[in-house]
Amino acid sequence: MASGNNNEDDLRRREVELRQKEQEIRLRELELELNKTMEPPVSPTVKHVETKKKNWLSKIPKFAKFGAMVFGSFLVVVITWKIAALLVPMIIVGAIAFIGYKLYLEGDDA
């Protein structure tokens, strides 16, 4: 009987140890899962590659950049002036035609 009790006690002790190990493993898994959810997602970093346009623009001296801006502004002003020079006579002729219409053609109901 003593050997039977020893075997049963040994089996119970092993079962308890096995349960404890399973609980420890499950606890570690849960801790790892919690740590994973708590950490912010990390996105991969990529080194910034400068474009040729940016390299080319950085090599130009400041006075050349300023000159290009002045020249571009001058072109905008000249083009705007030419468009205005075309539109103003058309507006004047249109206004005169409208006034003539109102004075002579619209009032001839008699």
Q: What is the pLDDT of residues 15-49, one digit of tens each?
A: 999 999 999 999 999 888 887 766 666 778 877 77
**46 found inside a domain:** no
Task: Let me know whether 56 and 105 are in one domain.
Answer: yes
Whether residues 58 and 25 fall in one domain? no
Domains in the chain: how many in total? 2
Q: Quick one: pLDDT at residue 109?
A: 60
Q: How confident is the model at residue 59 (pLDDT cuts 50, 70, 90)?
A: confident
Segment 92-97 mean pLDDT: 96
Instruction: Give the dihedral of Cα atoms 73, 79, 80, 82; nearest 10 deg.
Output: 150
Q: For the whole model, what pTM was predicted?
A: 0.40
20 and 58 both lie in a single domain: no
**Same-domain status, 70 and 97:** yes
Pair (66, 37) in one structural domain: no
* The one-letter amino acid at 6: N
pLDDT for 108 equals: 64
Segments forming the whole domain that contains residue 10: 1-41
> Are both 109 and 56 inside the same structural domain?
yes
Domain-embedded: residue 106:
yes
